[in-house]
């Protein structure tokens, strides 16, 4: 088990470093476009729950106006989302800065998506099992619920829909990942994610 974790960490480290180097021109362009729209930082930082309940700051490209407050959950119809934000959300570009989190060791390329502490505190005992593995940029739940924002936009109460319907379903999928944690599922999830990004 320790050898497997060490190997995955080595792959994470190499892939995130290589990804940041190759994508650096693209990341700079996206950063400029976000900044140009409202002259605020292109990055969004938020505390999330990591491995064994340790808090860390996740970094994403900012897709929403910093001057508008609202619920933690947002849908594609959320008026806080900027024009550039709509584009980067559609193609999951807002997630790319998390390669820095992978490089730092807070996250893996593959693993349950990290939640805010407020939501994790609602987990029951069995659901908390997903905190025993490092969170990731992608997971099977993210692939299946790739259109989550569109689903939430059709709800009268997006946050309630997420907490009562979507989040429990995603946790069940993540529990399957935890119980089948291996190099095979690691690479399978990465491949499936790439296929869906290209296809959609």
> How confident is the model at residue 95, as a pLDDT?
95
What is the pTM for the complete model shown? 0.91
Sheet strands (E) in 10-110: 43-49, 55-61, 108-110
Q: Cα–Cα distance between 112 and 52 in angstroms, integer?
A: 13
- Report whether 108 contacts 134 (CB < 8 A): yes
Question: CA gyration radius for the chain?
Answer: 17
Q: In this structure, what DSSP letter does residue 113 have?
A: P
pLDDT in tens, the chain (200 residues): 676 788 999 999 999 999 999 999 999 999 999 999 999 999 999 999 999 999 999 999 999 998 777 778 777 778 899 999 999 998 889 999 999 999 999 999 999 999 999 999 999 999 999 999 999 999 999 999 988 888 888 888 999 999 999 999 999 999 998 998 889 999 999 999 988 877 76
């Amino acid at each position: 088990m320790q050898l497997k974790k060490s190997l995955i960490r080595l792959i994470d480290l190499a892939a995130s470093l290589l990804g940041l180097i190759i994508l650096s021109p693209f990341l700079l362009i996206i950063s400029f476009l976000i900044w140009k729209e409202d002259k605020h930082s292109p990055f969004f930082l938020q505390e999330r729950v990591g491995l064994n309940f340790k808090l860390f700051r996740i970094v994403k490209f900012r897709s929403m106006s910093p001057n508008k407050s609202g619920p933690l959950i947002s849908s594609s119809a959320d008026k806080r989302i900027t024009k550039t934000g709509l584009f980067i959300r559609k193609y999951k570009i807002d997630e790319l800065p998390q390669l820095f989190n992978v490089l730092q060791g807070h996250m893996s390329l593959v693993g349950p998506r990290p939640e805010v502490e407020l939501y994790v505190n609602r987990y029951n005992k069995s659901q908390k099992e997903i905190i025993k593995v490092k969170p990731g940029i992608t997971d099977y739940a993210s692939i299946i619920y790739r259109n989550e924002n569109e689903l939430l936009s059709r709800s009268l109460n997006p946050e309630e829909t997420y907490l009562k319907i979507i989040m429990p379903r995603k946790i069940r999928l993540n529990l399957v990942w935890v119980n089948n944690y291996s190099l095979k599922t690691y690479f399978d999830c990465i491949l499936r994610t790439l296929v869906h990004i290209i296809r959609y």
